[in-house]
Amino acid sequence: MIPNYFRCGHPSQQCPLSVKRDIVKEQPEWTCPCDNPNCTDFKDPVPLVTGITGGKPWIVYGGVSVLVLLVLLIAILGGGDPSAQQLEDLKARLVPLESKVAELESRPAPAASEQPATVRISGFKRSTSELEGKARAALQAKDEAEVASVLSDIGEARRRFKGISESIDKPDSGSGVKAAEASGLIDKLQTLEGDGEQALEEAYTSSPGSAQMFDEFLMDVDSTLSRARKIAAGGTATKSPEGEELKKALADCLSSLEATKASLTAFIPPPDLPFQPAEADLIVATSSDLAGALVAPLVSGWSEADSMEGPEGRHFIESASIGKILVEPVTANEGFKRLAAGEIKVFFSDRDPSEFGQDLKSSRSVAEVIALDAMTLLVHPDNALDTFEMGATTPLKLGAGPEGSPIRSRAQLFGLSTGTASDLSGEEAALTDKGLLALSHYHEEGVNLRAKRLAVKPSPEALSLKPSPFTIATEDYRFSFRIVAWTTPNPSPETLSLIKFCTSNDGQKIVAEQGYIDLRLRPIQGDVPPAILAALGAALGVDRVSSAIRLSTNFRFEVGESDLDIKAQADLERLPRFVANNYPDYKVVILGFTDSDGGPEINMPLSKDRAEEVAKELRRSQVDTRSGGLGPAFPVDTNGTEAGKAKNRRAEVWVAKP
């Protein structure tokens, strides 16, 4: 650093330095001869050249005048003085800084906000919530450009919130912002001062005539620095309850934005698509909520190729044997319309076409059940409720998910009132709110479910059943439903091959791995009601049955018809091999049940007749099968609706040994 020189300007002239007007070189070890503790307040800086010459700068200026003229002449002849150009550059840097300091000095203190703190807090929270929503949408869409845009918006909001927070405790509104701007100017002015001092030192060697001009420039810089420091000093901070409330709200918003920023920063852009949707050789349409959860894994297993998720929930699969396959998510209504129009060849759905006015008859020529699922009712594990009784009032609030969500739509289909339901759903909601009856899907819950599943009792006379692989597979559980692959009447070979794979053992393994209920037959062992044992014994012609096991299928009939429905027809084909492999020493017994319409004199023989029709079909496949009937006993659903009656009209499959 270049040394500083000064004269003492004490107004009382009690200090000898103030009388003699000697020039003093300021050094760390220098002390005032009169021991004045406020000596530094009366230092009058003098130009560097004046200090070096002991107050006689004309000696230097006169002695170098000839040299200056010579330098100027050389400069004129040689193309300019580098020191002069350097000084002009430094001055050019100072001009905008001086202007900014002057602007800050003249800037009037803005009026305090007329909005109360509660209104401002609401605005800050709304802005934060909007940015969080944009971030979720960008991440869900996996849009790299949108992620970058939201990150930029969050950065701007964070800077604005911090600036407001820092200005809250200042003596006048906005002074915190002025002080922050002045602090930034101080940094720039100090950098400029250092560059000017370096240039002055070089000028003593290369261009002594310009030294005084550099010295004057540095005096201007020092003056501007003093003004900037005064602005930056601000005033004494004051606190108010409203200000503290506002600061806390801003801190919460900043914390939320920081977390959102972290999730956006962790975003990894998806890889380039293997092909464009228009290039697909085969389009597999599916309900939106089934695309990634079930259909894409099945198509991937069938084609022996990996699936890659792309924008808008699409899945891209490039197979060496099949070609380019696109799994396309669509709404159920759109899917059935496009299928009816022949625009697509296959559509996987958990909804029925009749819900959308589509007259697609359910026959195995155009439809095949590939899996089952169920809507479950979850509560906190400490909740005393164990059974949900249809039609009965419950003190719990229903959590049915957001409007238009799959789980809310499913609840409405099953006749649950969702008018006052909350947007919460699933296991997490049940665990965090003991007063919530949260809806969920069985396939989403996994094996480590911590919430409690409720049994469902459709009517006072019906059985109470909990959702399980067995009760869902038999469709006895009230809220079970099917997932069906629908095709055109003349499906392509690729479509038939895909559906055959879905119902094969390999395909059903994938179904189970994805959390859905597969179609593979399974037994259930446990206590058998005496009435069932008696009916089994009567069918076998024995007084006592030593072993009785129910299998995980029911034969049900089309509503209003005597024909078996599409799942029952498929189970007729699965059953012979399963029994031969697993129960060769058992007899198969079909037990028939009816709804409550009609009296015992009608229902008992009717239930036996229906069971015998199924038994005849199995005997054609060389399965030793007997039949029996129990009429309207053991209803699994209400007899108060047609849909409930259809569930009660069923034929159970048992294997028994005398």
Q: For the segment 297-316, what is each residue's pLDDT rounded down to a tens digit?
A: 999 999 999 999 998 899 99
Query: For residue 543, which of 551, 534, 553 has the smallest C-alpha distance?
Result: 534
What pLDDT is recorded for position 592?
95
Per residue, what are the HEC states of 426-445?
HHHHHHHCCCEEEEEEHHHC
Note whether 386 and 465 are within 8 A (CB).
no
Q: Dump pLDDT digits (tens) for 78-132.
A: 445 677 888 888 899 999 999 988 888 887 765 544 456 666 788 889 999 999 9
CATH number for the domain running over 370-482 = 3.40.190.10
d(CA 187, CA 189): 6
Q: Dump pLDDT digits (tens) for 180-215.
A: 788 888 989 999 988 888 888 787 777 777 778 888
Listed range (147-161, 178-192, 482-496, 539-553) with the worst mean pLDDT: 178-192
Supply φ then ψ for residue 618, to 5 degrees: -70, -35
Highest average pLDDT, of 17-26, 104-113, 209-218, 434-443, comes from 434-443
Note whether 128 and 256 are within 8 A (CB).
yes
> What is the three-class DSSP state of 629?
strand
What pLDDT is recorded for position 210?
76
d(CA 524, CA 485): 28
- Beta-sheet strands, E only, within 533-572: 547-556
Angle between helices 566-582 and 600-620 (to 10 degrees): 60
What is the CATH T-level fold of the domain 277-366+488-513, as seen in this structure?
Answer: D-Maltodextrin-Binding Protein; domain 2 (3.40.190)
pTM of the predicted model as reported, rounded to 2 decimal places = 0.64
Banded pLDDT at 269 (limits 50, 70, 90):
confident
Which H or E element spans position 44?
Answer: strand 43-46
How many CA atoms does the CB half-sphere of 296 hold within 13 Å?
A: 22
Classify domain 523-657 by CATH architecture: 2-Layer Sandwich (3.30)
Amino acid code (one letter) for 494: E
Give the tokens for residue 658. 């005398």
CA dihedral 604, 605, 606, 607 (to 10 degrees): 60
Q: How far is CA 156 from the centre of its chain?
A: 22
What pLDDT is recorded for position 114?
47
Banded pLDDT at 62 (limits 50, 70, 90):
low
Which H or E element spans position 642?
Answer: helix 642-648
Give every CB contact of residue 212 below 8 A, 6+ residues apart in sequence. 47, 49, 57, 61
Higher pLDDT, 173 or 381: 381
Are β-strands 346-349 and 523-524 bridged in parallel, bridged antiparallel, or unpaired?
A: unpaired
Give every CB contact of residue 410 below 8 A, 6+ residues apart in sequence. 375, 439, 441, 479, 481
| Cβ neighbour number for residue 303 with a 10 Å cutoff | 22
Does the CA dihedral 567-570-576-581 come out positive or negative? negative
